[in-house]
Structure 1
Amino acid sequence: MKGKSLYTILSEALSSEEKAIQYFEKMRWDGKVISPYDPTSKVYKCSNGKYKCKNTGRYFDVKTGTPLAGTKIPMTKWLLAMFMFQADKGGISSCQLSRILEITQKTAWHMLMKIREFAARVNEKDTSLSGEVEIDETFVGGKNINRHKDKKIKKCQGRSYKDKVKVFGILERNGKIIAQVVPNTQARTLVPIVKKNVEAGSTVYTDGWSYKGLEKKYEQRSVDHSKKFYGITYVTDDGEIIEVTTNRIENAWSTLKRTIKGTYIHVSKKHMQKYVDEFVFRFNTRNFSDSQRFNLLLRNIA
């Protein structure tokens, strides 16, 4: 496959169900089939894409032991769905995917939710951040002013947004982002997340909100948005350039919200984390080629 374009590779993989299964086998096993029942066992190749584990006597295929086991949806459609998922920077809706794959919208929705689980597995591989990091919270959801009178929520302003989903994020400058839905924005909830994922001694940039408990392990620098102060850049006596700002993570939040508003229109609180996982996956692989991102998804299914 080396030297071939992703278009050529995908065209070949989608030409038949057998080719699609072979491509998935290469991504999962890379030429050496491993039994999901006993990794040390010798494996015999059977017909119809089946294999037999010598030690256990059990049959399996490339989807056994993965979230795709038992699926009735052809592998060709799974591959195309995963390609469409990662290729469009703004995401793809279940309605659009259903038209492309010629399946029901409900089936397309379930496929996309499953693919978001694969993306979450990629995100969980390495959550260690260091150096200069920016932390911030955002509130995702429609504006109260746009709601019908009988659906408006009282006392819903500022950080007390009761109608919105709270998302907390940590962005390593020139690196990855970590983001998760949180029950509240209190320091006792957010500080442990920072300590778990950010290396001690790192410089943490905040928006002025109190993160009591960070001062002992991190150097904390803040911009106070409430006073219309959004950042400053200065040079130390040693020639080090210091940027006191959280603009990078705020730009990331803008991307998340534009994707939800422009593509998905509405996301329930119940499923918000999966859409956040999709956003994190796409952000962290922003410098990948389509081929690298597509294969990364496939390799993290098993």
Structure 2
Amino acid sequence: MKDHFTLGSFLRKYKDDEACLEHLKQIKYPSGIFCEKCQCITTFTKITSRPVYQCSCGYQISPLAGTIFEKTTTPLQYWFYAIFIMSVTRSGVSAKQLQRELGVTYKTAWRMFKQIRILMANVNNNLMDGTVEVDETFIGGAGKNRRYKWDGNEKEKQVVMGMVQRNGRAYLKHIPNTGKWTLLKQIKDNVDPQARVITDEWGGYIQLPKYGYKHDVVRHKDTYVVGDIYTQNVENLWSILKRGIYGVYRVVSKKYLQAYIDEYAWRYNHRQFNDKMFDLLLRQVAEVRVLAPRKIL
């Protein structure tokens, strides 16, 4: 039977801040810590009162420096737990839920998730190839029987463009409009010109063949599938995204919409790892350098 990384597994492995800090140190310095003063890799000893390790020469390092944890006053175990629940859920977790579970303020819970989403930002610069499904959807706006709240102008819809490579990754982008030049720029920036692009019948995609793309169209007024011409993968991603935005988060501002959709794209792109998503996010902590926040979390 396959072992799953459960809450019990998490609590056993990361039982306190010391265990979390030691694990972060191992991730950040897998080959040992280089002492700038001694100019060699040597032994560092944990300072009892602070998240700092010190060489015998007095030189100190902190595994938290340059990470989303820098300057935090929130227990490191709380941060690890927030990363854990973000990694094991499909539809997302609200800051309100984290507030209840950890006993922190709502502002702290919200900022923790905001920092964690930095780790989920798309950094893959490789062009998509093969067959790529492309579509756009609207988030927010007034509508019949809408029970969610859009933070800001209730009538203002936001456009999200999605691209899903068959048997590959997804890319989601908050864009200003559905005009042909906006759509074309995103495709040219992210899809190989030799790729086959499948869209619906929206006229904004009509010039794709002019730029070398093989363009197939599924006309949703008539049918949703014609052989292998369909956009079901990107549409399924829309379902997951909207279930999270409307059902879990409920209030999402235009300013932070890209960060939220990055979260869903990240989960989709790492779906094959299942129980290893938590480890992947922790690895991102060490790899993604961030500026220390002005306000202490």
TM-score w.r.t. structure 1 length? 0.81
Per the alignment, residue 159 of structure 1 pairs with none
Residues 67-121 of structure 1: per-residue CA shift (max 9 Å, x gap): 221111111111111001111112111111111111111111110111111111x
Per the alignment, residue 214 of structure 1 pairs with 208
Cα displacement (A) at 1:43: 5.2
Residues 250-279 of structure 1: per-residue CA shift (max 9 Å, x gap): 111111101111111121111111110111
- Indicate the SS of the match to 2:46: coil
1:102 aligns with 2:103: yes
- Indicate the SS of the match to 2:271: coil
Residues 222-272 of structure 1: per-residue CA shift (max 9 Å, x gap): 0223x3332311xxxxxxxxx111122111111110111111112111111
Q: Conserved in 2, the CA contact under 8 Å of 1:201 and 1:219?
A: yes
Q: 1:232 aligns with which of 218, 226, 235?
A: 226
- Indicate the SS of the match to 2:205: coil
- Indicate the SS of the match to 2:10: helix
2: CA distance, partners of 1:9 / 1:147: 39
Per the alignment, residue 23 of structure 2 pairs with 23
2: CA distance, partners of 1:32 / 1:176: 34
The letter of the residue matching 1:27 is: I
The letter of the residue matching 1:65 is: G
Gaps of 5+ in 2: 287-297
The letter of the residue matching 1:285 is: H
2: CA distance, partners of 1:140 / 1:254: 12
Pair 1:213–1:32, CA change in 2 (3 A): farther
Per the alignment, residue 237 of structure 1 pairs with none
Q: Conserved in 1, the CA contact under 8 Å of 2:217 and 2:229?
A: yes
Per the alignment, residue 52 of structure 2 pairs with 50
2: CA distance, partners of 1:10 / 1:115: 18
- Indicate the SS of the match to 1:78: helix
The letter of the residue matching 1:167 is: V
Q: Conserved in 2, the CA contact under 8 Å of 1:166 and 1:185?
A: yes
Per the alignment, residue 178 of structure 1 pairs with 171
2: CA distance, partners of 1:117 / 1:14: 22
2: CA distance, partners of 1:101 / 1:126: 37
Per the alignment, residue 244 of structure 2 pairs with 259
Per the alignment, residue 135 of structure 1 pairs with 134
Per the alignment, residue 76 of structure 1 pairs with 77
1:270 aligns with 2:255: yes
Q: Conserved in 1, the CA contact under 8 Å of 2:95 and 2:106?
A: yes
The letter of the residue matching 2:68 is: P
Q: Conserved in 2, the CA contact under 8 Å of 1:82 and 1:294?
A: yes
Moved more, 5-14 or 126-135: 5-14
Residues 160-185 of structure 1: per-residue CA shift (max 9 Å, x gap): xx611110111001111000100111
Pair 1:139–1:4, CA change in 2 (3 A): closer
Q: Conserved in 2, the CA contact under 8 Å of 1:129 and 1:197?
A: yes
Per the alignment, residue 239 of structure 1 pairs with none
2: CA distance, partners of 1:299 / 1:115: 12
Per the alignment, residue 117 of structure 2 pairs with 116
2: CA distance, partners of 1:33 / 1:142: 52
Q: Could you tell me the percent identity over the aligned residues?
A: 34
2: CA distance, partners of 1:34 / 1:66: 18
- Indicate the SS of the match to 1:262: helix
Pair 1:254–1:34, CA change in 2 (3 A): farther
Count, aligned residues: 274
Per the alignment, residue 289 of structure 1 pairs with 274
1:87 aligns with 2:88: yes
The letter of the residue matching 2:44 is: K
TM-score w.r.t. structure 2 length? 0.82
The letter of the residue matching 2:225 is: G
Gaps of 5+ in 1: 157-161, 234-242
Pair 1:232–1:268, CA change in 2 (3 A): same
The letter of the residue matching 2:80 is: L
Q: CA RMSD in A?
A: 2.9
